[in-house]
Amino acid sequence: MKKITLSNGKTVEVECLSCALTSGLIEPDGGVVIETEYFHAHQDVAYPIKGLIILASKRHIKCFDELSKEEKIDYINILSKIRKAQRDVLGIKCVYYFYNEDTTHHFHTWMVPRYEWMYEFGRSVESVRPVLLHARNNMNSEENINDVMKAINDITKELNN
């Protein structure tokens, strides 16, 4: 079991945070953005960036080549659907996608929107880590959190209507 501190400050002990989230054991702040048979999307509000989405598989797998045929199709469909909602609802022009197979949780893709303010942290992929840390440590004002929550609401509505 691992002890994990959630974005709301609560501590939980789970085998795998992704399993706990996708099974509904832990409700993410802002709720589930969209869910399919094989995937589950939410925003990790510990990184309060508007439109940042984490898309996790429901099955406890780590690597891309472990996805079943059905999961692969579901993945690309849901990923592109979320991407479209980020554009249509939040005006997001570019998104950075990444996932690492050596995660301590399980298969999840980060969809990190690229905003103008991020250029001060570097030109491209090199800026992602500093941007995330900056967001986590310095963007917790009530105003920004409210903006992020509203964005989650809007994107959730768009994806589920």
| Residues making contact with Zn ion (CB under 5 A) | 16, 18-19, 60, 106
Dist. CA 56–CA 42, nearest whole Å? 9
Q: How far is the CB of 60 from Zn ion (least distance, A)?
A: 3
- Reduce the secondary structure of 72-116 to three states and give it as a string: HHHHHHHHHHHHHHHHHHHCCCEEEEECCCCCCCCCEEEEEEECH
Dist. CA 107–CA 114, nearest whole Å? 22
Nearer to Zn ion, 56 or 151 (CB): 56
Nearer to Zn ion, 12 or 16 (CB): 16
Q: How far is the CB of 19 from Zn ion (least distance, A)?
A: 3
Nearer to Zn ion, 56 or 159 (CB): 56
Nearer to Zn ion, 42 or 106 (CB): 106
Q: How far is the CB of 58 from Zn ion (least distance, A)?
A: 9
Give the up-direction half-sphere exposure of residue 1: CA atoms within 13 A in the CB hemisphere: 5
Q: How far is the CB of 20 from Zn ion (least distance, A)?
A: 8
